[in-house]
Amino acid sequence: MYAIIRAGGRQFRAEAGRTIRIPSMASAEPGDTITFDEVLMGASDDEVSVGSPLLDGAKVTAEVVGHGKDDKIVIFKHKRRKNYRRKQGHRQGFTEVRIQDISLK
């Protein structure tokens, strides 16, 4: 059983017991339970349900495991022969959640 959910403007595949990294949710503390109501698609056994755009009454419950930052990406700009160089780094924040329950009703 799995569901496709929307969190932070991106889509994720949620399966019970699986841990996923979603864009940072500053309001959620580790140990809190959060509910995702934006379920786009759900599948159980041999039955697949697709919403238009969302499934009515479907929800996914998850527990916040922790917060962190991804690996650093480097942005390097330069213009040849002009002595122009700019180097900048960025680390995107994330919230790690463990999927507990999927309800497709």
Q: Tell me, what's the pLDDT at 38?
A: 95
Question: pLDDT tens digits, residue range 6-50?
Answer: 999 999 999 999 999 999 998 999 999 999 999 999 999 889 999
Q: Tell me, what's the pLDDT at 46?
A: 87
How far is the C-alpha of 54 from the C-alpha of 41, rounded, in Å?
Answer: 7
Q: Give the residue-averaged pLDDT of 64-78.
A: 97
Domain residues for the domain of 46 are 2-103
Q: Tell me, what's the pLDDT at 33?
A: 97
How far is the C-alpha of 61 from the C-alpha of 99, rounded, in Å?
Answer: 6
% residues pLDDT > 90 (the chain)? 93
pLDDT band at 105 (very low <50, low <70, confident <90, very high): confident
Q: Give the residue-averaged pLDDT of 58-73.
A: 97
By C-alpha distance, which of 26, 25, 96, 88 is closest to 65? 96
What's the total number of domains in the chain?
A: 1
